Homo-oligomer: A and B are copies of this chain.
Amino acid sequence: AMVDKGVDFANYFCTYAFLYHQKEMLCDRVRMDAYYNSIFQNKHHFVGKTVLDVGTGSGILAIWSAQAGARKVYAVEATKMAEHARVLIKANNLEDVVEVIESNMEDVSLPEKVDVIISEWMGYFLLRESMFDSVIYARDHWLKPTGVMYPSHARMWVAPIRSGIGEHKRGDYDLAMEDWHNFVGSTKSSYGVDMSILSKPFSEEQKKYYLQTSLWSNLHPNQVIGSPAIIKEIDCLTVSVNDILEVKADVFSSITMEHARLCGFGGWFDVHFRGRKEDPAQQEVELSTAPCPNNGTHWGQQVFLLQPPVHVDQGDKLNVSFSMIRSKENHRLLEVEFGCDVTQSSGKIPHFKNKFFIE
C-alpha cells in the first residue's frame, strides 16, 4: 500500500484546509454534543492528563480537552487548518496547554506518551477516508499502556430500506442513455464518425455513476423496513489496520413492514465513549448516525440501491452477505458488495448480488 503523499493531499486533505468545511462539522450538533458530553461528563479522564488529538482541524477537541483540565494537549493536523487552530487556541487563552503540530500524524515525534487519544476520524459509513489508520498508528506509537481511546468502540450497521430515489436514478440513467444515442446518430450524420462502438463503455460509466454509487441520504426511520444488523464491531484500543482493510459479514434481517418494496440497503455507524475496562467512563456516551426523525448528522446514511426493487412482506427473512474492500485506485474510497437471499412464506426469491462504490 504505497500512497503518494502529494496525490493524497490533492484528493483528500485539500478540503479540510477550508474553514467552510470545518464549520460544517462544527455545526453538526449530534456530533458536537456527543464529543462535548464525552469529555465534560468524564473529566477524570482529562484532569491533569496528557492528550493527543489526531486531526485537530479547527482545534475544537483539543480546546475542550484543555478546558476539561488536561495538563498538556498535542493537537496534530496535516493541513494549513493547523494555523487557524493555533490562532483559535491562543484567542481562547489555551496556548500554554495546547500545542498545535502541523504535520501528518505518521511523521510526528512527541516528547512523551499520552493518557488519552481523542479523534474524530469517522467518515461516511465509518470507514470511508481510511483516517482510522492514522489513529491506530498514533495509538500504537504514542498511547500509554494504561491509556484510553475517545471514542473507545465503533459499530457498522446495515438494514433493508425503501426509498423513492431509485426510480429517479434509473430515470436519470435512462435519459443519459437516450441522449447518448441521439449523440451517436448526429455524430454519424453530421461528422461521418460512427461512435456506436462506445455505447457499451458509456453505459457502464453511467451505470456506475447513477446506479452503483452509494448515495448520501438522511433516511427517516419509517424507511427502514426490516431489522438492522451489525456487520462490524471495533474495539478502538485493540483493533489493527489489518482488521479493517476488509469488512465481511453474513447477517440476518427480518422484514418488519407489510407489503413493502425492498429498494436497497442503508448503512450507518455508531461510536461509543466508554473509556477502558480498568478505567471506565463515569458517564458512557453514544454518537449514533442511525436513521432518526430529526437531528440528522452530516454523515447521514449511505444508501445502496437495488435495481429494480423487490416486493417483500412482513416476516420475510433476508440472509445478507456483505463485503467491503478499499478501492485499488484510491485507498480512501470503498467498494461494497451485497449478496441477498430472501425467504418468503411462498418460497425463495432468486439470489441476487450487487456491487457498489462509495466515492
Contacts and interface: CB of A to CB of B under 8 A. Distances in A.
A23 B84 contact: no
Size band of the interface chain A makes with B: 35 or more
Interface string A10-31: 1100000011100100110100
B197 A20 contact: no
Nearest to A90: B197
A67 B192 contact: yes
Contacts of A191: 32, 36, 60, 64
B19 A205 contact: yes
Interface string A104-145: 000000000000000000000000000000000000000000
A201 interface: yes
A66 to B, nearest CB: 11
A32 B192 CA distance: 12
A202 B9 CA distance: 21
Interface string A191-209: 1111111100110011001
Contact of A193 (B29, B84, B87, B92): B92
Contacts of A180: 23
User: How many copies of the shown chain assemble into the complex?
Assistant: 2
A27 B186 CA distance: 9
Contact of A19 (B6, B10, B192, B198): B198
A222 interface: no
Interface of A: 4, 6-7, 9-11, 18-20, 23, 26-27, 29, 32, 36, 58, 60, 63-64, 67, 84, 87-88, 90-92, 180, 183, 187, 190-198, 201-202, 205-206, 209
Q: Please give me the 10 A-B residue pairs with the lowest Cβ-Cβ distance, nearest first.
A: A91-B197, A6-B7, A10-B10, A4-B6, A19-B202, A7-B10, A10-B11, A19-B205, A63-B193, A7-B7
